[in-house]
Each structure stands twice: as structure tokens, then as C-alpha cells.
A and B are shown apart, each in its own frame.
Chain A
Amino acid sequence: MNFHDRHLLRLRVNGEDHSLSDLDPRVTLLDLLRERLQLTGTKKGCNFGECGACTVHLDGQRVNACMILAVSAEGREVTTIEGLANGNALHPVQQAFIDHDGFQCGFCTPGQVMSAAALIEEGHTSSDAEIREWMSGNLCRCSAYPQIVEAVRAAAGRASQ
């Protein structure tokens, strides 16, 4: 391969503007967040767009950070798990995952939480079946799925079914 170009990249991450120089165009948004910005809350699971551990919000929409070249995020706004809480006040989804024991090992949890926060904004919470379907892009090898659905339902403000 013949990638000699180096890029200047400007983007906004968790409300903070960044200007990154000398960027290899092959770097993914995921690797940029973890390796250049030291935001290691976003996890690298499969690196093939299959597991959802790297879910972040790009201009408010949930996406897999491993499936985006960082250079194509030029000028856009990224929110990671580090930017979800409001100061020391946890986001309602974060609190719900604690209250409902929505994890065991915790590796998939940042992605689960980012996906759930977006799903609630999207309005896909009319039933447990709908929550499961719209959370299906986030795999949990500990299989905490029942508690994750409970947490999402609670965060969405719905009574237990």
C-alpha cells in the first residue's frame, strides 16, 4: 500500500474542540479516540463492526467507531462514554445499569450504555421486544441481557411489564 498522505483533522469530542495533525488516513475513529485522545472508555471488541463495544454518538446518532475512518469525521461532533455524564451526575442510563445490575465483566458496558441512551432518544422502547431488537447490535458475552433490558426499560421511565 502506498499511503504517504498525512492529514489535519478537526473534530469536537465531548464538547471539546480538537485539532490533530499528522494523522495517518487509515486510522479509525475508534483508534483515534483510544490512542490519540486517550479516551479508552470506548472499547475495541471485534474491530469488525459486529459486537457494538465501540458504540459512540456521531452528530447525535449511535455508530460503530471501528467502522469509520477518523478523517471522514472531519468537523463532526463525537460523544463517547466519558462525555455522557453531566459532571458528577450520572446519565439516567448509567444509573439504571448500576441499579439493575446490567453487566458482569463490564467490557461491553460503555457500548451498551451509549446504544441505550440513543435508543431511548429514538423512541424504540414501546415493549421489551422492541428494546431487545434495537439493542441487538450490542453483544454481551456474559449474557446480562435480561438485566440490560430491565435497565433500558427503567431508564426510559417505563413501569415493569
Chain B
Amino acid sequence: MLNWLRLGIAEPTRIIDISRLDGLDQIEALAGGGLKIGALTHLNDVAQHALVMRDYPVLSQAILNAASPQLRNLATIGGNLLQKTRCAYFRAEEELPCNKREPGSGCSALHGINDNHAIFGWTEDCVATQPSDPAVALAALDAVIVTAHSSGGRRIPAAEFHLLPDTRPEAHNVLQHGELVTAIELPAPAPRSAYLKVRERESYEYAIVAAAAVLEMNGRTIRRAGLALGSVALRPWRLIAAEEQLAGADIGDRDALSAAIEQSFVEARPLSQNAYKIELAKNAALRAIEKAARMPS
């Protein structure tokens, strides 16, 4: 948020420090078998919590691949979901056409530098991507974002929390004015789950492509798969068609896994400079599935 002020992305007249609100930094087991993570829990505390490491390795791995150790001591799991795109035009110090900065001004990336922009779900209004790593894991896990508002809160599926540019290109997520994320709820444990992040250097960098895989296995057969890609769209991109076809596949049959993944790339649309991301994303999805299958159950 401080960087938004520095760049002029946000110009608030008042800032409210919510960091000391009671009870929002706890991790507790839910009666039904899931886990409730308070929105103000710091990223390092989520990633290194014994239950998260054991039951939701995809989330632990996604967080430990995000930002730096120092930033993860400051950043919260709720705040992480509210981050804005890293598109260089959006964050430019001199103002350039950007529908997210100035609605109606246009999109500089559409025909500009777009080598790390979206391959799914973009419109001519905005071709940026959502950079959050944890959000991708939460989408694959079918997590729920719990919010509070003076008129009552709501429960938002993690995969629907961020907005594609087809409705309001200036918005990043569905939160309304005065609405506060209070918790993230995870469903039943997903020990066979993994996160894979592809980036230009080994550490402390945003993804070119990331993939989260959550598997339920019966021996070597995939019973159910949850798959999401990161940094390919303005929201974590669920591979629904691939998930459906993966049910019943043998984990050792690479051709079958690849054919299933292919189903979800029918709708991929490259920009002028990022066609390479399509192949990269397919391979990342395959490797994430294989990595998840190797996790101890």
C-alpha cells in the first residue's frame, strides 16, 4: 500500500491501521475438517504452520515462493490477495494510458511490451495479470474468502475473488467499499498438492507462469484434480476442462495428462510477445501434477 502512495496509484485522505484488530491472526482447525486462517496472519506464519505444511503443502510452497523473508514477516494472507497487477504501464512513474489507472485512457500493453502479460481472459481494455502466488494455491484448493461488512459479510470462492477485465477493467477484485477480508477457509486436507513457480531467477521474483495442483489419488489413479495457473490472467486460472478429463487418468501416463491439460488451452489467446507462455504454462501444469503426486499422503 505504501508503494501505491509513492506511485500515485492510491491517494487516500485517511488510512486505518487494522493490524491490531483482535483475533484475526489465528489459524484454527474447523470442525468439519478444514482450516480457518485469520486474514491478518503473516505469510511466514501461515507457510510454516504445522497443519498447513502437513495438510496443504501447495499453500505453504506458494507462500515460500512469494516475495522475500522480510516482506513475508510484514505481509498478511488477506493483504496478499489485495495486491494489484505488476504491469509496468500500471506502475509507471509518468502516467501512461492504462484503464486501471485512468478508466477510458486505453491499454498501453495491448500493443506495447506484453511479454509477461495474460494469455487467458484478457480484453482490449486490459491484458495484465494478477501476481499473487497464494491466490493460485487457494483457487486450486477451492478455498473460501470470508468478508465482513456493516451490512453483513459474505463467503466468496477463491477462484472468483479477482475480477477479469470484461466487466469493470479498473477493478482488481470483488470487494466493495467498506468490505473487509476477515479469514480464509480451506476445505478438507489436501496432502497431495504442490506449487510450481517458473521465473527468470531462482528466488525473489514474480512468476512468468505458476501452477498449483491438488490431487486425490486412488493408488496410481487420479480420482479428482484441482488445477490453477498463476500469472496468466487477471485471476488465478482454473483448468476446469483439464480437471474433468484427469479424473480416472493414470499418474504415470504422461500422454494422457498432457492431452487433458490441452483441453483447457483451447481458449488460450497469446498477445504479440507472449506466445511462449502457452507452452510454458502447459509444461508447468504437467510438472505441478507430477510434483503433487509425489507428495506423501
Contacts and interface: CB of A to CB of B under 8 A. Distances in A.
A13 to B, nearest CB: 18
Contacts of B12: 1
Contact of B69 (A25, A49, A119): A119
B74 A52 contact: no
A134 B69 contact: yes
Interface in A118-142: 118-119, 122, 124, 132-134, 136-138
Nearest to A3: B13
Contacts of B70: 52, 55, 62-64, 115, 137
B71 interface: yes
A64 B73 CA distance: 9
A53 to B, nearest CB: 11
Interface in A43-76: 47-49, 52, 55, 58, 61-64, 66-69, 71-72
Interface string B1-15: 011011000011101
B2 A133 contact: no
A84 to B, nearest CB: 16
B71 A68 contact: no
Per DSSP, chain A at the interface is mixed
Contact of A2 (B2, B13, B67, B202): B13
Contact of A28 (B2, B17, B68, B74): B2
A124 B68 CA distance: 14
Given A28-B2, A72-B19, A133-B203, A67 B71 contact: yes
B2 A67 contact: yes
A66 B19 CA distance: 17
B18 to A, nearest CB: 10
5 contacts: A1-B12, A26-B5, A69-B2, A72-B17, A136-B68
Interface residues of B, number: 20
Interface in A97-153: 115, 118-119, 122, 124, 132-134, 136-138
Contacts of B5: 26
Nearest to B65: A133
Contact of A115 (B2, B6, B67, B69): B69
B204 interface: yes
Interface in B60-77: 67-71, 73-74
Interface in B68-109: 68-71, 73-74
Contact of B73 (A25, A62, A69, A133): A62
A126 to B, nearest CB: 14
Interface of B: 2-3, 5-6, 11-13, 15, 17, 19, 67-71, 73-74, 202-204
9 A-B pairs with least C-beta separation? A137-B68, A136-B203, A136-B204, A2-B13, A61-B73, A137-B70, A72-B17, A64-B70, A62-B70
Contacts of A115: 69-70
B235 to A, nearest CB: 24
Contact of A63 (B6, B74, B204): B74
A62 B69 contact: yes
Contacts of B202: 133
A68 to B, nearest CB: 7
Contacts of B204: 136-137
A90 to B, nearest CB: 22
Contacts of A122: 69
B11 to A, nearest CB: 6
B288 to A, nearest CB: 20
A115 to B, nearest CB: 7
Contacts of B74: 63-64, 67-68
Contacts of A138: 68
A131 B71 CA distance: 17
